[in-house]
Amino acid sequence: MKNVFRGRLLRAAALLLALILVPVLSGAETVVTSFYPVWLLARNLAAGLEGVEIRNMAAPSAGCLHDYQLQTADMKALASADVFLISGAGMESFLPQIASAFPELPIVEAAEGVPLLSEDGALQVGDAEEGANAHIWLDPTRAILMAENLAAGLSRVMPDRAEAVSANLEALTLRLRALDEQLREGLSSLPRKDIVTFHEAFPYFAQAYGLRVAAVVNKEPGETLTPAQTASLIAVLRDLGNPPLFVEPQYDDLSARMLSAETGAPVFTLDPVVTGPEDPPMDYYETVMLQNMTALQTALGE
Where do contacts with Zn ion occur on this chain (CB under 5 A)? 64, 201
Nearest residue to Zn ion, scored by beta-carbon proximity: 64
Q: How far is the CB of 35 from Zn ion (least distance, A)?
A: 10
Q: How far is the CB of 79 from Zn ion (least distance, A)?
A: 27
Nearer to Zn ion, 164 or 204 (CB): 204
Q: How far is the CB of 188 from Zn ion (least distance, A)?
A: 26
Q: How far is the CB of 218 from Zn ion (least distance, A)?
A: 12
Nearer to Zn ion, 201 or 289 (CB): 201
Nearer to Zn ion, 63 or 153 (CB): 63
In angstroms, the Cα distances linking 211 to 22, 126, 165, 292 are: 54, 25, 34, 13
Nearer to Zn ion, 49 or 251 (CB): 251
Q: How far is the CB of 296 from Zn ion (least distance, A)?
A: 19
Gap between the Cα atoms of 142 and 116, Å rounded: 10
Q: How far is the CB of 201 from Zn ion (least distance, A)?
A: 5
